[in-house]
């Protein structure tokens, strides 16, 4: 039976998504207008939204359903 190799992440999911979104936006700003740039900006927006959702879902104020 094989064992999964595990490692501890240094940054949270929210931090990793935010950093990736920032890098993607910076890279997209260097590209000329077109489909590639638009797709990269779309993925950056999705990562930014996912980071906010992760923050919301892990917030202490979020109550479980009764």
User: What pLDDT, on a 0 to 100 scale, did the predictor assign at position 31?
Assistant: 94
User: What pLDDT, on a 0 to 100 scale, did the predictor assign at position 61?
Assistant: 81
N residues, the chain: 66
Would you say residue 7 lies in a domain? no
Would you say residue 37 lies in a domain? yes
Distance CA 21, CA 17 (A): 6
Q: How many structural domains does the chain have?
A: 1
Would you say residue 8 lies in a domain? no
Would you say residue 5 lies in a domain? no
39-42 contact pairs (CB < 8 A, 24+): none
Q: Which residue has the higher pLDDT, 5 or 41?
A: 41
Would you say residue 41 lies in a domain? yes
Q: How many Cα atoms sit within 13 Å of 53 on the Cβ side?
A: 7
User: What pLDDT, on a 0 to 100 scale, did the predictor assign at position 29?
Assistant: 94
Would you say residue 38 lies in a domain? yes
For 7-59, what is each residue's pLDDT tens digit?
788 888 899 999 999 999 999 999 999 999 999 999 999 999 999 998 888 88
Would you say residue 39 lies in a domain? yes
Structural domain boundaries enclosing 29: 13-57
């Amino acid at each position: 039976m094989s064992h999964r190799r595990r490692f501890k992440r240094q940054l949270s999911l929210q931090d990793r998504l935010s950093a990736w979104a920032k890098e993607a936006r910076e890279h997209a700003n260097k590209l000329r207008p077109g489909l590639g740039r638009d797709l990269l900006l779309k993925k950056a927006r999705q990562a930014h939204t996912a980071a906010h959702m992760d923050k919301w879902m892990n917030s202490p104020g979020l109550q479980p359903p009764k």
